[in-house]
Amino acid sequence: VSSSTRALLELIRDVPDFPKPGIVFKDITPLLASPAAFQSALDAMAEPLRHQSITAVAAIESRGFIFGAGIAARLGCGLVLVRKPGKLPWKRLRHDYALEYGNDALEIHADAVGPDDRVAVVDDVLATGGTAAAAARLLGDCGADVTAFSFLIELGFLEGRGRLATGSIHSAIMY
């Protein structure tokens, strides 16, 4: 583990039994509050996406937005929002999926990306992979190529990457 990765690890707080018994929640608010750690997290998440001709970063609500914006700015590409139901105003596509703690659905604007796009999906945590897989499905339904995934944290023991069918998968921190 590199010293920069260790610095990030020290700023991720484990909160047992949140939001449900049995879930160890990865609280990233101390990391976000540290200027050096936040910058280094964005650098670590953006770096593997360079030289992949990414045209758009698709960020998953809510914590994915925090990282997606900074990564899109670093890569010089646009930001696409994958949102919880009922938030997007324009024509939408929807996909329902199972979460580590419950069920949920995601939506995207039908014209957010298209066949000319090479998209990187960004979120804070890869757990069971249901959320990222749902986002990838929506992007595919728009006609885009899902080229890569970038996560701050991967909970490797949940084997979520096995649910991601296409694209390279990158995580700055592996548990």
Q: What is the DSSP string of 118-149?
A: EEEEEEEEESSSHHHHHHHHHHHHTT-EEEEE
> Measured from the CB atom, is 68 or 160 closer to ligand AMP?
160
In our burial notation (b when 16+ CB lie closer than 10 A, e otherwise), range 9-46 reads eebbeeeeeeeeeeeebbebeebbeeeebbebbbebbb
> Measured from the CB atom, is 160 or 167 closer to ligand AMP?
160
To ligand AMP, the closest distance from the beta carbon of 23 in angstroms equals 6
To ligand AMP, the closest distance from the beta carbon of 29 in angstroms equals 11
To ligand AMP, the closest distance from the beta carbon of 51 in angstroms equals 27
Applying CB under 6 A, the residues found at the interface with ligand AMP are 23-26, 60, 63, 99-100, 123-132, 160
> Measured from the CB atom, is 99 or 174 closer to ligand AMP?
99
> Measured from the CB atom, is 113 or 173 closer to ligand AMP?
173
Where does residue 129 rank: exposed (0-12), middle (13-18), buried (19+ CB within 10 A)?
Answer: buried
Enzyme catalytic residues: 63, 100
To ligand AMP, the closest distance from the beta carbon of 155 in angstroms equals 6
Taking the C-alpha atoms of residue 115 and residue 113, their distance in angstroms, rounded to an integer, is: 7
Bridge partner residues of 153 (DSSP): 125, 173
